[in-house]
Structure 1
Amino acid sequence: ESSAAQLAANEREAAWREMAKQVAHEIKNPLTPMRLTVQSFQRKFDPGDPDVVKKLEEYSNTLIQQIDTMSSIASAFSTYAQMPAQQDETLNVVKITKLALDIFNEDYIYFFSEEEDLIAKFDRTQLIRVITNLVKNSIHAIEQRAPEHPRIEVHVYPEGANAVITVQDNGIGVIEANKAKVFEPKFTTKTSGMGLGLGMVKKIVETYEGTIYFDSEEGKGTTFKVAFPRKL
């Protein structure tokens, strides 16, 4: 028992060390252009330059952009670190899913539900976060593959004692080597972003006693399935 407890403690410590390295790496990325911008400003700034206002605005915009990047990094890690507050909010899963999809402009997103009402206990904000993260993930997968007829289907339906939401796309799919890493907090195939989306989704779903899994075929697409208890 003592050895098992020590092993668990060591694994937690290693996980936090890995997360700390990731945070440091992501924060250093915007710091370099910020430093170069300030150094360039110091060397080249001339109060008598007729374009001084324009140049000052360019310097300021560059710094503000990098500060916003750092802010989004902090927010992403902060969001992942927080356990979702478990609200006793009774809501209509069909209605909230439609609401979450309203923010997307892509005309290849289709919604299907044979039910008008599917009631469950779930925090509204957290459920919207789950859906938007999955749909954003599908949009990214489609952009990587660029199929002739892009399509994302979102289905909501009851299954036994559960409410189920599936998000299916015909994007690039997940290669075999990456399947085990999909829900890891720092894993991402994107060139930008924190890779916290699907890790956070899994954390939220499990907080509400639900499950999430996916089925994917490389070059053909991916389906994510989220299931959680519904109110019978």
Structure 2
Amino acid sequence: MHQTLTFLRSRTALAGGWLLLMAAFGLYSAASHRQALEQEVSESGRALQRAISQRVAQHDAHLTGLSALGLAQAQPSEDFDLVARSILRFYPRIEAIDLVSVPSPSGVRVISSVTSADGSAVDPARVFQAVERLTPGKAVYGPDAKPGHYRLMKRMNDTMAVSLDIDGAKLVEGEELPRWAALTLSTVDGPLLETGDRAPVEISFGARTLGFDAPVASVTQPLRLSLQRHVTLAQLLPPVPFTLFAAISLAGLVLIRSLLRHRHEAAMARAAAEAASRREALRQHETKLAHALRINSMGEMASGIAHELTQPLTALLSQSQAGRRIAAADGLADTPLDGVLAANVQQAKRAADILVRLRAYVGKSALEAGVHDLGRHVADIVALSRIDLDRRSIALAIDLPDAPALARIDPVEIEQVIHNLIRNAADAVEQAGRGDGRVLVSLKAIGGNYEITVSDNGTGIPPDILARLFEPFFSSKPDGMGLGLSLCESIVERFDGGISGGNDPKGGAVFTVRLPAARKRQDERKQRNDDGAGLFGR
């Protein structure tokens, strides 16, 4: 395609291509419009032909009725004249009805004549001449002395004939004739009706006149209909579409020429861009090395911090446990004071577990997982998170099964995952500014897995972020480091599970953690006691 259009870089070639396009469009437009006009002329002609055929058929029917009426009477009476006057009143194109005798003792004469104001007098001799060789019941066409009129005559029997004076111009009503039409309705003796300007009908492509020519369907009345339409150049090539196409095609060719001109410039710049890209890749590699050095330094610092914090946490745990024993000795067991001390013991143990895992992570040694009840640890972390969500006026609901949900996990790390998901959901709800903010945490058994779902009615996840949710160091928060969801994914996958995130059709985001259910066998090691024995001896 590029090689085909390179010729458009020249202005002369551009002008020549535009002229070729204009010529092709002109030929197509003229052919299509001519076809449409020909179809319109043909359809109008057929419609007029059908209408005229129906009217001349009515003339034959009138002759038949009048003949039957005349034959039923021995002598003509007022009934014949009454019927004839009715026909003239309802069919204005029939202007005279005459009953004529054929040669008899009394000779050729008019027996009865009913004529309108425009009707012409009948010549009985001419009627006799037209019907003398006809058998009774047969009709025949004949010319009339008045221009535009013709006679339709029928021999009733051996002594009588009936004649109709018909105004051919009235066979076409005014509203039936298209405004553009030049019409000719004629007989073998000449035209009955002519309207508009007539010209010879051409049949070549360059014809300026379109026509329709066909006989009227009648045995007794030899009529022929001709319809012509003069076509102008503006009808074959409408100015507005032609001008619009000319402008659009010229603009398109100029645009293509501009694109081709810049294509070469872009190709030259591409090499420079690739060189710059290589330099940028080298710079990013150096940045990653520097980042790795910082991570190593942070690992060493984290190991030192974990070691230093172990001592105060041990003291806090020991003092809180001692306080519980003193309270129990003084009869203060199960009081608010005892509850506060119990909470201190629980959180000190949790902090100690986090430090143990931090030291294990820095030392590149993972702790062995055990079989634990997911429901218990989900409930614990929800209770811990409820304080923060109540402060932010966000409802926190939980849905847990009655039966234990046993899975091979590290409780502290799974609690960290759920806590991070709850905190992210609360941030999204708070960002949405909802007065009915809600976060729901549920645990369900599906097949051989357990699914922990954290959903909210917050802002949801933008489509451009969905694919990068678990990418390290990517965050949509201004102050985020982009490590939370990445670490969650690493923790869950270490226990043969998976994590996914998406949007709820009803609104908000949904994150699902899937963990395989533990096999129904005794764990190889006993679970650690709740008093945290041995936590600080590592």
Task: State the TM-score, normalized to the length of structure 2.
Answer: 0.29
> Does residue 448 of structure 2 align to residue 177 of structure 1?
no
> Does residue 515 of structure 2 align to residue 228 of structure 1?
yes
> Does residue 377 of structure 2 align to residue 89 of structure 1?
no
Report the secondary structure of 1:220's partner residue.
Answer: coil
- 1: CA distance, partners of 2:423 / 2:489: 15
Report the secondary structure of 2:384's partner residue.
Answer: coil
Aligned to 1:151: 438
* Superposition pairs of residues 51-90 of structure 1, within 5 angstroms: 85-90=366-371
1:107-147 residue CA offsets vs partner (Å, 9 max, x unmatched): 41100013331001100111111100100110111111111
Q: Classify 1:84/1:136 alpha carbon distance in 2 versus 1 (closer, same or farther; 3 Å).
A: farther
1:36-85 residue CA offsets vs partner (Å, 9 max, x unmatched): xxxxxxxxxxxxxxxxxxxxxxxxxxxxxxxxxxxxxxx9xx89x76782
* Superposition pairs of residues 77-156 of structure 1, within 5 angstroms: 85-104=366-385, 105=387, 106-107=389-390, 108-156=395-443
1:129-182 residue CA offsets vs partner (Å, 9 max, x unmatched): 110010011011111111121010000011111111000001111111111111
- 1: CA distance, partners of 2:430 / 2:487: 22
Q: Classify 1:14/1:165 alpha carbon distance in 2 versus 1 (closer, same or farther; 3 Å).
A: farther
Aligned to 2:495: 208
Q: What residue identity is the alignment partner of 1:161?
A: G
Q: Classify 1:219/1:230 alpha carbon distance in 2 versus 1 (closer, same or farther; 3 Å).
A: closer
Contact between 2:466 and 2:502, CA under 8 Å: does it hold in 1? no
How far 1:217 sits from its partner (Å)? 5.5
Q: Classify 1:194/1:18 alpha carbon distance in 2 versus 1 (closer, same or farther; 3 Å).
A: farther
2:291 to 9, 17, 20: 20
How far 1:191 sits from its partner (Å)? 2.1
2:448 to 157, 161, 176: 161
Contact between 2:504 and 2:510, CA under 8 Å: does it hold in 1? no
Report the secondary structure of 2:378's partner residue.
Answer: helix
Contact between 2:368 and 2:410, CA under 8 Å: does it hold in 1? yes
How far 1:206 sits from its partner (Å)? 0.8
1:195 to 477, 482, 486: 482
Larger RCO (CA under 8 A, 6+ residues apart) = 1
- 2: CA distance, partners of 1:227 / 1:90: 15
Contact between 1:115 and 1:157, CA under 8 Å: does it hold in 2? no
Contact between 1:84 and 1:204, CA under 8 Å: does it hold in 2? no
How far 1:207 sits from its partner (Å)? 0.9
Question: Where do 5+ consecutive residues of structure 1 fail to align?
Answer: 1-9, 28-74
Contact between 1:154 and 1:166, CA under 8 Å: does it hold in 2? yes
- The range that moved more, 99-108 or 119-128, is 99-108
Q: What residue identity is the alignment partner of 1:122?
A: I
Report the secondary structure of 2:434's partner residue.
Answer: coil
Q: Classify 1:19/1:187 alpha carbon distance in 2 versus 1 (closer, same or farther; 3 Å).
A: farther
Bigger Cα Rg = 2
- 2: CA distance, partners of 1:219 / 1:159: 22
Contact between 1:166 and 1:224, CA under 8 Å: does it hold in 2? yes
Q: Classify 1:210/1:191 alpha carbon distance in 2 versus 1 (closer, same or farther; 3 Å).
A: same
- 1: CA distance, partners of 2:406 / 2:490: 21
Contact between 1:145 and 1:219, CA under 8 Å: does it hold in 2? no
- 2: CA distance, partners of 1:121 / 1:18: 36
How far 1:88 sits from its partner (Å)? 2.8
- 2: CA distance, partners of 1:226 / 1:15: 36
How far 1:86 sits from its partner (Å)? 4.8
- 2: CA distance, partners of 1:128 / 1:138: 15
Q: Classify 1:93/1:222 alpha carbon distance in 2 versus 1 (closer, same or farther; 3 Å).
A: same
Question: Where do 5+ consecutive residues of structure 2 fail to align?
Answer: 1-280, 299-354, 520-538
Q: What residue identity is the alignment partner of 1:17?
A: K
How many percent identity over aligned positions? 26
Q: What residue identity is the alignment partner of 1:20?
A: H
Q: Classify 1:147/1:230 alpha carbon distance in 2 versus 1 (closer, same or farther; 3 Å).
A: same
- 2: CA distance, partners of 1:86 / 1:215: 31
Q: Classify 1:149/1:89 alpha carbon distance in 2 versus 1 (closer, same or farther; 3 Å).
A: same
- The range that moved more, 134-143 or 210-219, is 210-219
Q: Classify 1:229/1:219 alpha carbon distance in 2 versus 1 (closer, same or farther; 3 Å).
A: closer
Q: Classify 1:19/1:97 alpha carbon distance in 2 versus 1 (closer, same or farther; 3 Å).
A: farther
How far 1:220 sits from its partner (Å)? 2.6
Q: What residue identity is the alignment partner of 2:375?
A: V
Q: What residue identity is the alignment partner of 2:416?
A: R
Contact between 1:97 and 1:128, CA under 8 Å: does it hold in 2? yes
Q: Classify 1:189/1:84 alpha carbon distance in 2 versus 1 (closer, same or farther; 3 Å).
A: farther
